[in-house]
Structure 1
């Protein structure tokens, strides 16, 4: 009987509060098992990077990869934060310093139709007993985002079918690193009983004892580096005969390392310092932030959206603007603090009739939305705030106008907003009835930063 221990993390999202002890723990367990002549594998299942952290933003994620090196992972896969939180160039550079394999089976470069050169589609580990363990990985197929960035992302069911067929008779046991979400994982387990273990991510699910679906063990270690997953496998006659899962509560079970708080503070401080070195504009007046008002900062944002999307109208909510930018020199640190959201510009076209429906819907919900707490879906603030328009007017008698003119119901009107409006449930007309396009590659803060750079160049 051969035993293999697998440790896994997922969806850390650059939450580094527990990282020093996590890295030490993973190094220590590797040493422990290796000293006992036992097999051990360590994986991360994606979304280790999140540009909400200043160190991630300042280094385009490369500093996070160097931190992952400290944990001595065998391999990682990418999540959507790595995949679509980066431009194609940034993703191609992200793993330059990685000391581990990057396994990714369902993403190819649109220019070459080949896997990027920083990834492998599968890694086969041969255990001491001679069993061949096939590890492959799928990331969530967000085609609408990957496609304009220059990537083809394949349906994971097609990928899995192809890999299993290609390596039939070669691989004895299968483990899928899945940045797909728990619903995908369950459906995959139903369809592909050959998969012994599916280690999950993306939906931040925590499975304290795992979950069996069909003959597959599903595992998931929550989010934000709060847990480490552990899977224990027993192999007999080169086949997995038993697999069990548990999770380790990092704060409760693992002691902090010396000066941990200082280290974690230094990660953040270094990120801010690097961003402060990146000067982009010199503004004559302070840009105010107040979720109760459509401030001059929001108005600059609306102007920037119209300029970038080439539209005459734009809509933003004031709660996106988290803090003011003081007059004088503007740095990328200022913009990152004020606009930490991983949001892109959304350009959409509706008929005049649909535009009226949309604006009436916004006006009807205005009082409810303004103080409403919002969490997730790309939003890194607290309150939705005031709905603010450029190019759209609502008169005292509730007539809606577009650039001062009455709206013709059969005509088409194009507006710029943020892709967040596709995901929140408040404005379904945008997702269901408009002809929309998410503009790549820039995040909202970069769009506004580039606009400031043009309007107020450094003196």
Structure 2
């Protein structure tokens, strides 16, 4: 009877405060395996990179790959934070220095329809006693955001039959590294009993001792490095999987050294220093967060959004802004601190009657959203905050909407710009249902503001 250990991490999202303990845990388990002449496989399921962290932002994720190299993963896949949070050129070079294989079966270059050069469809690992373990990987398909970034992202169920058929007869154990989410994982388990093990991520779900569906073992280890997945597979003399013990090990129970905190703070300090060195503009006044100051940060950003999107109207919310920008030199660190969100702009085209409906949705939700806490979907702030229009007016008494001072014509077409977050949250359905939305890549909203400040207030 052979035992094979599989360790998995996922959705770290650059929460490097847990990395020293995770690294120590993974390396210790590897040393134990070598000492006991056992096979151990270590994988990451994506979203290791998140540009909310200053070091990730400053290095376009390269620093994260340096950290991953420390544990020598056998294979990793990408999440949407790597795939959409990176410009195409950045993603094409993200893994240049990686000492591990990147597996990904559903992403292709939009022009050539070929897989990216940095990815492999699958990998086979042979254990100490000759058991062949096959690894496949798929990431969450978001065509609306991958396509304008130059990628052709395919849906898992369209590709899995061929991927599974191609690999199943070559291996004894078939493992899917999934950055698809718990619902998709369960559906795959019901549809493909040929898969032995699905390692799940993306929806940040946690299976402390696993879940079995249709004979397929599922495992998942939460988010932010709060857990590490630890699976022990038992294999008989014919290399058939007979049992799997699944655990999600809490990071809080792992060994911690006094120097860990210094290392964690060092990542933050290094990131801030690198970003501070990149100056952008020199502004003659403070850009304030409040509503009473003469120069508001949200007004400057609304103007920047209109410039980038080439629209006359823009809509944003105050909760996006986490810090003011002070008079004087502006650098990338200030922009990142103020707008840490991995959000892109969208240009939305609506008929006039739908513009009116959208504004009514926003006005109806205004009081509710003012102090409403928002988590996820690219938002890295605390609350949604106040809605601000530029180029739009709403007459609450008469329930009338004016566009650039003129009444909205119901059958005319109108174009405005905002952040993609407005499309993903459930409060303004008119954007997705009635609108034609164009995603603007590759800039994040902070880059859009930075370019505008640079053009208006260049450094002498």
Q: TM-score range by the shorter chain?
A: over 0.9
> Structure 1's 8 and 293: CA in aligned 2 closer, same or farther, altered over 3 A?
farther
Name 2:109's counterpart in structure 1.
109
Q: Please give the alpha-carbon distance, in whole angstroms, between the structure 1 residues aligned to 2:36 and 2:263.
A: 32
Shift of 1:240: 0.9
Shift of 1:291: 7.6
Cα offsets for 1:226-250 (capped at 9, x unmatched):
0001111011112111112111111
1:38-117 to structure 2, matched below 5 A, reads 38-117=38-117
Cα offsets for 1:72-116 (capped at 9, x unmatched):
211111100001100011001111111111111111112332221
Contact 1:317 1:385 in 2 (8 A): yes
Cα offsets for 1:324-375 (capped at 9, x unmatched):
1111111010000000011111111111111111112222322222122222
Cα offsets for 1:260-306 (capped at 9, x unmatched):
11110010010000000011111111111138989621111111111
Shift of 1:131: 2.1
When structure 1 is superposed on structure 2, of 86-95 and 351-360 the one drifting more is 351-360
SS in 2 for 1:162: helix
SS in 2 for 1:27: helix
1:257-406 to structure 2, matched below 5 A, reads 257-290=257-290, 296-395=296-395, 397-406=398-407
SS in 2 for 1:17: helix
Name 1:190's counterpart in structure 2.
190
Name 2:3's counterpart in structure 1.
3
Name 1:444's counterpart in structure 2.
445
Q: Please give the alpha-carbon distance, in whole angstroms, between the structure 1 residues aligned to 2:296 and 2:150.
A: 35
Cα offsets for 1:194-230 (capped at 9, x unmatched):
1000001000010000000111100000000000011
Aligned residue pair count? 458
Contact 2:168 2:174 in 1 (8 A): no
Unaligned runs of 5+ in 1: none
Shift of 1:41: 0.5
Contact 1:294 1:386 in 2 (8 A): no
Shift of 1:255: 1.5
Contact 2:290 2:296 in 1 (8 A): no
Cα offsets for 1:428-448 (capped at 9, x unmatched):
111111111221111111111
Cα offsets for 1:139-189 (capped at 9, x unmatched):
001111111111111211222211122234222220000000000000001
TM-score (norm. length: structure 2): 0.97
Q: Please give the alpha-carbon distance, in whole angstroms, between the structure 2 residues aligned to 1:81 and 1:139.
A: 11
Q: Please give the alpha-carbon distance, in whole angstroms, between the structure 2 residues aligned to 1:439 and 1:430.
A: 16
Q: Please give the alpha-carbon distance, in whole angstroms, between the structure 2 residues aligned to 1:275 and 1:381.
A: 20
Name 1:17's counterpart in structure 2.
17
> Structure 1's 84 and 141: CA in aligned 2 closer, same or farther, altered over 3 A?
same
SS in 1 for 2:206: coil
Q: Please give the alpha-carbon distance, in whole angstroms, between the structure 2 residues aligned to 1:294 and 1:250.
A: 48
Contact 2:37 2:128 in 1 (8 A): no
Contact 2:8 2:43 in 1 (8 A): yes
Contact 1:316 1:389 in 2 (8 A): yes
> Structure 1's 13 and 145: CA in aligned 2 closer, same or farther, altered over 3 A?
same
> Structure 1's 294 and 378: CA in aligned 2 closer, same or farther, altered over 3 A?
farther
Q: Please give the alpha-carbon distance, in whole angstroms, between the structure 2 residues aligned to 1:103 and 1:356.
A: 46
Name 1:453's counterpart in structure 2.
454
Unaligned runs of 5+ in 2: none
Q: Please give the alpha-carbon distance, in whole angstroms, between the structure 1 residues aligned to 2:83 and 2:339.
A: 20
Name 2:163's counterpart in structure 1.
163
Name 1:120's counterpart in structure 2.
120
Q: Please give the alpha-carbon distance, in whole angstroms, between the structure 1 residues aligned to 2:6 and 2:376.
A: 30
TM-score (norm. length: structure 1): 0.97
SS in 2 for 1:441: coil
Q: Please give the alpha-carbon distance, in whole angstroms, between the structure 1 residues aligned to 2:97 and 2:226.
A: 25
SS in 1 for 2:207: coil
Name 1:214's counterpart in structure 2.
214
Q: CA RMSD in A?
A: 1.4
1:432 matched to 2:433:
yes
Contact 1:280 1:330 in 2 (8 A): yes
Contact 1:319 1:386 in 2 (8 A): yes
Shift of 1:129: 2.5
